[in-house]
Amino acid sequence: MTQNTENPIALSFDGAVATMTLQNGAMNALDDAALEAIIGACDAIEARPQTVALRIRSERRVFSAGADLSLVNERMKSDEGVAAMVETVRRFHRAYDRLVALPCATIAEIGGHALGGGLELALACDFRVAAHQAKLGLPEAKVGLLPGAGGTQRLTTLCGAGIAARVILAGDLLDGKEAERVGLAQWSVDAADLPARVDALTAQIGGLSPDAVRESKKCINVANAMSAQGAQAEIEGLAKLLRTDEARRRVASFLTK
């Protein structure tokens, strides 16, 4: 087994399985450094053609709470900061598109809350296995923003406009069981059983033809491709919201609680 333990992402390989472990602070915030680390990890994984499956997991109580809201709050105070935040949003898209494009099967092991950009990371994976106790959601509208890292597009494609409206427009948080029921997660198990369930899934995938997995994923990605127009609409919409007094007030209010 080989391992890289540099923060904020640890990447290890064990035979045909790669494991990407999120370890960026208590909430696994996804900042510029974390996003660049994800891109770098994807490069390393793709350089190993023997890798058939990638599991993404967390060392923390949460899977990931998404973007660092204190960073968002600080950047919203100036035009230069907003421009920097928009570039970070583009980096989210590059990182998650890179993950989608990996030739191996990808699995999000969601043992704790996956919110905002954290859920969008999971949505960029082929499989989502969630603990019953986990909470999954895209609560950006509560702070005057929108899910800008593919959430509006990938969730709608995966679960339909009705579920996307429930999660994004109504701000519902779904536990693992409900996420499985609506198709957001393929499986939900008790938290204590989650690692073993993902072990079994990686073993199941590992028993398939690697070439067949790669070619089949390529075909699925063609059918499921997110449009450039949809991605651009997210980026432009979020850029507009970052400049509003309403969003500034809501973000600042959230951080004081």
> Can you give the pLDDT at residue 257?
79
- Across the range 135-149, mean pLDDT stands at 96
CA-nearest of 247, 235, 255, 245 to 143 is: 247
> Can you give the pLDDT at residue 3?
43
> Can you give the pLDDT at residue 109?
98
- Across the range 94-100, mean pLDDT stands at 97
> Can you give the pLDDT at residue 7?
83
* Domain 2-256: CATH architecture, name and number where available: Alpha-Beta Complex (3.90)
Strand ordering across the sheet containing 114-115: 114-115, 135-137, 174-175
pLDDT band for position 2 (50/70/90)?
very low
- Across the range 195-221, mean pLDDT stands at 94
> Can you give the pLDDT at residue 6?
56
Catalytic-role residue among 6, 87, 109, 140: 140
In whole angstroms, what is the distance from residue 182 CA to residue 164 CA? 10
> Can you give the pLDDT at residue 41?
97
- Across the range 118-132, mean pLDDT stands at 98
What are the Cα distances from residue 257, in Å, to 58, 133, 251, 254? 25, 24, 10, 5
Catalytic-role residue among 6, 80, 120, 246: 120
120 counts as catalytic? yes
Q: State yes or no: pLDDT of 137 exceeds 80.
A: yes
> Can you give the pLDDT at residue 1?
42
- Across the range 239-250, mean pLDDT stands at 93
> Can you give the pLDDT at residue 226?
87
Q: Which residues does 77 contact at the CB level (< 8 Å), separation at least 6?
A: 248
6 counts as catalytic? no
What is the average pLDDT score of the chain?
94
Is 241 in contact with 145 (CB distance < 8 Å)? yes
pLDDT per position as a tens digit, 150-195: 999 999 999 999 999 999 999 999 999 999 999 999 999 999 999 9
Q: State yes or no: pLDDT of 107 exceeds 80.
A: yes
CA-nearest of 123, 128, 124, 136 to 194 is: 128
pLDDT per position as a tens digit, 42-79: 999 999 999 999 999 998 999 999 999 999 999 999 99
